[in-house]
């Protein structure tokens, strides 16, 4: 672990000359280096756009070059230069039990002997489907996909087919995958008709997308009054503008408004599903949507997605109904196996309580350290999901989030990386705790944060 200070209490260190030798060893330790990562990334940029397979990995918003992973285990990741980090990204959420969990790996090794892909029904699809249906209040039937983006694409087509309406309402700062219809922005934070947010997205693809302000019921009702809306879609806890929780009043108000105006309510729980509670945000807040999208945790680290909801809605999906959606690798036997074992682990007594305890300790420790050093900082957590903003707060929506000092965050991120702490390389991404993290990991992270806050 790369740390700024070392506390020694061993007998060897206290022996005559022991402390001097130890200090010499620390002094002689090589400086933090990412030379191999830089070399690999330089080559990658000639082979792949920006050198990465997903944009946020490129460290564009924090500066510097990304580190290249070699392996992961438990709460830690290791780069190609031999550096070890305490990992709070967890492959962007799926690694809730930790990386390379022995129980999951053993189940995967057994499943691997049977084959990596069937392209046909398998028993484990039923097993995982029943686990999801039993856990998630809104889900009576489920369709598996290969990613959260695919799940949201299927959901979008489904809500329009079921309601025979085209308009949907999403929220500024909420991300629902990279499908054309969701890549929209709202001008100056005002709820408006969506405009394409990426070159290559035709205006017609977003003409049916309306954008409202998170935690603002009035902005939603205005759109519902003016348009026939198929569905209101949101992250029940925002993780793609940084960590932004909803108010209870907001979620309950959305449930009532959608019912009153004949629209469906959709929770995108790709990030929150099985993370902030076993039954997701809808269990945590006690608000049941009509349709739910899921991913990440339910694949146990393998590519997976799913959408589900009331039976009468889901039976519109082919082959039960006329709405077409398909996937060669959907219900992949390895992903189903990893998901089943992961959910089995999560269902054990006390798991979410432990995630909540560790995450609260981390968040309070970092916020206290930042404020003691004179920085404007705010943040919060729910179970194993958390985030910080370099502003006084509160942060209730994307416009509030944009007031954060992103330059300071970039400096903080790089300095924390050099001290052996791997955080999401963007101010506008949530962080994730795992069951593999320990109190010692949290203590080391807070100590590193204190040192960094004194530097920036």
The residues assigned a catalytic role are 175, 268, 296
Calpha distance 164→235 (Å, rounded):
23
Using DSSP's 3-state secondary structure scheme, residue 85 falls into strand
Closest C-alpha to 257, from 225, 215, 226: 225
Contact 410, 62 (CB under 8 A): yes
Q: Which long-range contacts (CB under 8 A, 24 or more apart) does 105-112 make?
A: 107/337, 107/338, 107/340, 107/341, 108/334, 108/337, 108/338, 110/337, 111/333, 111/334, 111/337, 112/334
Calpha distance 38→36 (Å, rounded):
5
Length of the chain in residues, anyone?
A: 456
Using DSSP's 3-state secondary structure scheme, residue 100 falls into coil
Calpha distance 59→55 (Å, rounded):
8
365 Cβ contact list (under 8 Å, min separation 6) = 442, 445, 446, 449
Q: Which residues lie across from 293 on neighbouring strands? A: 268, 307
Q: Which residues lie across from 309 on neighbouring strands? A: 141, 291
Calpha distance 413→119 (Å, rounded):
43
Calpha distance 20→13 (Å, rounded):
8
403 phi-psi bin (left φ>0, alpha ψ -120 to 50, beta other): alpha
Using DSSP's 3-state secondary structure scheme, residue 315 falls into coil
Q: Return the HEC string of 198-247.
A: CCCCCHHHHCCEEEECCCCHHHHHHHHHHCCEEEEEECCCECCCCCECCC
Q: What is the DSSP-derived secondary structure letter of residue 313?
A: H
Is there a cis peptide before residue 319, judged by omega within 30 degrees of 0?
yes
Q: Which residues lie across from 233 on neighbouring strands? A: 266
Using DSSP's 3-state secondary structure scheme, residue 193 falls into strand
Q: What is the DSSP-derived secondary structure letter of residue 9?
A: -
Contact 397, 214 (CB under 8 A): yes
Calpha distance 329→325 (Å, rounded):
13
């Amino acid at each position: 672990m790369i740390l700024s200070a070392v506390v020694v209490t061993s007998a060897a260190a206290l022996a005559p000359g022991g402390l001097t030798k130890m200090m010499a060893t620390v002094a002689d330790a090589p400086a933090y280096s990412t030379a191999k990562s830089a070399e690999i990334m330089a080559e990658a940029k000639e082979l792949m756009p920006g050198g990465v397979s997903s944009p946020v990995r490129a460290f564009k918003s924090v500066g510097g070059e990304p580190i290249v992973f070699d392996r992961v285990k438990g709460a830690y990741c290791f780069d190609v230069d031999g550096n070890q980090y305490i990992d709070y990204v967890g492959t962007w959420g799926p690694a809730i039990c930790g990386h390379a969990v022995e129980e999951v790996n053993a189940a995967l090794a057994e499943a691997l002997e049977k084959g990596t892909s069937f392209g046909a029904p398998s028993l484990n699809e039923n097993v995982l489907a029943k686990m999801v249906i039993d856990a998630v209040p809104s889900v009576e039937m489920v369709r598996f996909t290969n990613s959260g983006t695919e799940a949201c694409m299927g959901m979008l087509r489904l809500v329009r087919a079921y309601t025979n309406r085209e308009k949907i309402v999403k929220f500024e700062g909420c991300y629902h995958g990279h499908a054309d219809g969701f890549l929209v922005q709202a001008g100056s934070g005002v709820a408006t008709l969506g405009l394409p947010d990426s070159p290559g997205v035709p205006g017609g693809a977003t003409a049916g997308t309306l954008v409202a302000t998170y935690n603002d019921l009035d902005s939603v009702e205005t759109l519902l009054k003016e348009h026939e809306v198929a569905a209101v879609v949101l992250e029940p806890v925002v993780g793609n503008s940084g960590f932004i929780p909803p108010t209870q009043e907001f979620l309950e108000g959305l449930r009532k408004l959608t019912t009153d105006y004949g629209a469906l309510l959709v929770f995108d729980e790709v990030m929150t599903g099985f993370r902030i509670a076993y039954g997701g945000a809808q269990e945590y807040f006690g608000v049941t949507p009509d349709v739910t999208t899921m991913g990440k945790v339910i694949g146990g680290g393998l590519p997976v997605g799913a959408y589900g909801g009331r039976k009468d809605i889901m039976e519109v999906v082919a082959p039960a109904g006329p709405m077409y959606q398909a996937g060669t690798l959907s219900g992949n036997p390895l992903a189903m196996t990893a998901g089943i074992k992961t959910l089995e682990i999560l269902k054990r007594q006390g798991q979410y309580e432990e995630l909540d305890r560790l995450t609260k300790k981390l968040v309070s420790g970092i916020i206290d350290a930042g404020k003691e050093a004179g920085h404007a900082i705010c943040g919060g957590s729910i179970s194993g999901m958390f985030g910080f903003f370099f502003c006084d707060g509160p942060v209730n929506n994307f416009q509030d989030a944009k007031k954060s000092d992103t330059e300071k965050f970039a400096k903080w991120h790089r300095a924390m990386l050099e001290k052996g702490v791997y955080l999401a390389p963007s101010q506008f991404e949530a962080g994730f705790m795992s069951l593999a993290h320990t109190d010692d990991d949290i203590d080391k992270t807070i100590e590193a944060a204190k040192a960094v806050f004194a530097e920036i």
